[in-house]
């Protein structure tokens, strides 16, 4: 399916966005190994998160969906059973990496598989450290990619300095650490998203953080009831549209404002964006707040590292195209191994809209043009964040533009186009 996208003249209103993808995954997994019934409201019912739930159903866990709530009947650590069929994660990197860590020491034998894109994404980054923990995990074709095979093993704790900045790899090892003998220590060089740490702590797990180090011990988890905040990475698309469409003003309510996720807002503010965050006072598992955005004149910026804005680079690149001056993005090699090679997919879409771009091995240089006139055919490369970022750009095109292959949006933000009814239609 494709989108036909027409120019938006202004964007106003008060909105909420669906629940956070990273937190929904972690809830579906950790509640399965907690003892008793856990409840999460505002769970994200996207393809990726539903794939996580389906995997755990195959592992013997019962979930009930009631409105926007998920009720999990957790069976405690050691309560999962080996599945009869391979587990299928679809397009979800978070599912395959986190579930591998969780199952490695859970007395489970299984194969984990996914779609074509998942089978091209690197899994050595989890296989190698899990093998150091004495996990029996391998890539079925011995090529470092999925399908992944896991056999039952007793894990031992390790000290591990992260060779890359990845919350998926960190969380994989923390989940393995919940089942390992001794203290697993993980050392990061930046603070990647810390949702696993916060949820394990809330569930009573033995986890301790000290600056860049995280220590975790074999622990039983207790059930929780929680509200999953709106996904700030989905809100980023609405924020961007409000910034570039004239005479816009929006308020986004009840969105997650965890410090490890809002670095892109600092970057946008440095580009001249008028954005205010109001934190809710109420103490909860994750920080939550409201975000107000008004149309702003943007200027180019230098970005030295993408680690803390990894999911927002596509939409930042779109904003850079409408900004005055040059934007440079460096230290972004990880962008090449996401749902698509995001350096390539961003650059080819920027070129389609007549923007001058230079490609680096680890990033790009974008010559912004606030007066750019374009209408074009964009390509999603089957990557949800590319599809949404350039659909936002198309809302500023002169005449209708097309975004091709938009089915991938269902992996993270299924109702994205409803925010722009009348301007974005399926064709
Ligand atoms: C995620 C971590 C990030 C991010 C992904 C979700 C998570 O991936 O890009 O969308 O939920 O832990 P990396 O760990 O590969 O950076």
List residues with catalytic annotation. 311
What distances in angstroms separate CA 221 from CA 58, 174, 351, one per listed residue? 21, 13, 50
| Whether pLDDT at 194 is above 90 | yes
How far apart (Å, rounded) are the C-alpha atoms in residues 352 and 217? 51
94 lines ligand 1 (CB under 6 A): yes
311 lines ligand 1 (CB under 6 A): yes
What phi and psi, each to the nearest 5 degrees, are found at residue 231?
A: -80, 115
Question: What is the chain's length?
Answer: 427
H/E run at residue 111: strand 110-113
pLDDT digits (tens, 9 = 90+) for 322-342: 999 999 999 999 999 999 999
pLDDT digits (tens, 9 = 90+) for 87-129: 999 999 999 999 999 999 999 999 999 999 999 999 999 999 9
Nearest CA to ligand 1 atom 13: 166
- Quote the ligand 1 centre to 260 CA distance (angstroms): 12
384 lines ligand 1 (CB under 6 A): no
- Minimum-distance ligand 1 atom for the alpha carbon of 337: 15
310 lines ligand 1 (CB under 6 A): yes
Angle, to 10 degrees, between the axis of helix 263-270 and the axis of helix 232-244? 10
Which of 46, 94, 195, 388 has most ligand 1 atoms within 8 Å of its beta carbon, as the pocket-test mutant? 94
Same fold flag, 3-18+229-426 and 21-227: yes
Task: Quote the CATH superfamily of domain 21-227.
Answer: Enolpyruvate transferase domain (3.65.10.10)
Q: What is the mean pLDDT of residues 345-357?
A: 98
| Whether pLDDT at 281 is above 90 | no
- Per-residue confidence (pLDDT) for residue 426, from 0 to 100: 96
- Per-residue confidence (pLDDT) for residue 282, from 0 to 100: 79
Contact 230, 18 (CB under 8 A): yes
How far apart (Å, rounded) are the C-alpha atoms in residues 264 and 267? 5
| Whether pLDDT at 284 is above 90 | no
Q: What is the mean pLDDT of residues 298-318?
A: 98
Per-domain residue ranges of the chain: 3-18+229-426, 21-227
- Quote the ligand 1 centre to 171 CA distance (angstroms): 10
Alpha helix stretches (DSSP H) within 178-300: 195-202, 232-244, 263-270
pLDDT digits (tens, 9 = 90+) for 2-33: 999 999 999 999 999 999 999 999 999 999 99
Could you tell me the fold of the domain covering 3-18+229-426? UDP-n-acetylglucosamine1-carboxyvinyl-transferase; Chain (3.65.10)
pLDDT digits (tens, 9 = 90+) for 121-168: 999 999 999 999 999 999 999 999 999 999 999 999 999 999 999 999
297 — pLDDT class (breaks 50, 70, 90)? very high
Alpha helix stretches (DSSP H) within 178-253: 195-202, 232-244
- Per-residue confidence (pLDDT) for residue 118, from 0 to 100: 97
- Quote the ligand 1 centre to 423 CA distance (angstroms): 30
22 lines ligand 1 (CB under 6 A): yes
pLDDT digits (tens, 9 = 90+) for 240-270: 999 999 999 999 999 999 999 999 999 999 9
Task: Tell me the pTM.
Answer: 0.98
- Minimum-distance ligand 1 atom for the alpha carbon of 22: 11
- Quote the ligand 1 centre to 369 CA distance (angstroms): 31
- Quote the ligand 1 centre to 289 CA distance (angstroms): 22
- Minimum-distance ligand 1 atom for the alpha carbon of 166: 14
Tokens standing for residue 48 = 């990726």
The residues facing 14 across adjacent strands are 251
How far apart (Å, rounded) are the C-alpha atoms in residues 156 and 358? 47
Compute the half-sphere exposure of residue 400: CA atoms within 13 Å on the CB side of its CA. 12
- Per-residue confidence (pLDDT) for residue 291, from 0 to 100: 98
For residue 18, how many other CB atoms are within 10 A of its CB?
A: 23
Q: What is the mean pLDDT of residues 24-44?
A: 98
167 lines ligand 1 (CB under 6 A): yes
Q: What is the DSSP letter of 228?
A: P
Q: What is the mean pLDDT of residues 263-290?
A: 95
166 lines ligand 1 (CB under 6 A): yes
pLDDT digits (tens, 9 = 90+) for 166-191: 999 999 999 999 999 999 999 999 99
Q: What angle do CA 267, 272, 274 make, to 5 degrees?
A: 95
Q: What does the mean pLDDT of the chain come to? A: 98
């Amino acid at each position: 399916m494709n989108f036909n996208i027409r120019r938006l003249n202004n964007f106003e209103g008060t909105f909420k966005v669906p629940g956070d993808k990273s937190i929904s995954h972690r809830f579906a997994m950790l509640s399965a190994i907690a003892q008793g019934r856990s409840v999460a409201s505002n769970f994200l019912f996207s393809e990726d998160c539903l794939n996580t739930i389906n995997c755990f159903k195959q592992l013997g866990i019962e979930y009930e969906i009631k409105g926007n709530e998920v009720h999990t009947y957790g069976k405690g650590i050691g309560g999962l059973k080996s599945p009869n069929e391979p587990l299928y994660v679809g397009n979800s990197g978070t599912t395959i990496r986190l579930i591998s860590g969780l199952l490695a020491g859970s007395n489970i034998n299984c194969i984990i598989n996914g779609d074509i894109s998942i089978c091209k994404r690197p899994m050595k980054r989890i296989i190698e450290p899990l093998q150091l923990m004495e996990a029996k995990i391998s890539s079925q074709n011995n090529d470092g990619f999925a399908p992944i095979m896991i056999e039952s093993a007793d894990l031992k704790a390790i000290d591990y300095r992260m060779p890359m900045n990845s919350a998926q790899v960190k969380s994989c090892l923390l989940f393995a650490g919940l089942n390992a003998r001794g203290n697993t220590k993980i050392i990061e060089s930046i603070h990647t998203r810390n949702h696993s740490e916060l949820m394990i702590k809330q569930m009573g797990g033995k986890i301790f953080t000290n600056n860049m180090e995280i220590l975790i011990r074999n622990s039983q988890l207790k059930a929780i009831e929680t509200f999953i905040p709106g996904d700030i990475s989905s809100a980023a698309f609405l924020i961007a549209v409000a910034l570039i469409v004239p005479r816009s003003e929006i308020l986004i309510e009840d969105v997650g404002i965890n410090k490890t996720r809002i670095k892109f807002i600092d970057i946008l503010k440095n580009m001249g964006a008028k954005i205010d965050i109001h934190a809710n006072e109420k103490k909860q598992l994750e920080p939550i707040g409201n975000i107000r955005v008004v149309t702003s004149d943007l200027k180019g910026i230098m970005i030295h590292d993408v680690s803390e804005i990894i999911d927002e680079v596509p939409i930042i690149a779109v904003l850079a195209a409408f900004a005055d001056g040059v934007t440079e993005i460096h230290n972004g090699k990880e962008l090449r191994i996401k749902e698509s090679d995001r350096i390539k997919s961003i650059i080819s879409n920027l070129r389609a809209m007549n923007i001058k771009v230079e490609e680096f091995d680890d990033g790009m240089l974008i010559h912004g043009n606030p007066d750019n006139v374009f209408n074009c055919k964009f390509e999603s490369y089957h990557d949800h964040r590319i599809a949404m970022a350039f659909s936002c750009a198309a809302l500023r095109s002169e005449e209708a533009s097309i975004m091709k292959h938009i089915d991938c949006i269902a992996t993270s933000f299924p109702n994205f186009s409803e925010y722009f009814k009348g301007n974005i239609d399926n064709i």
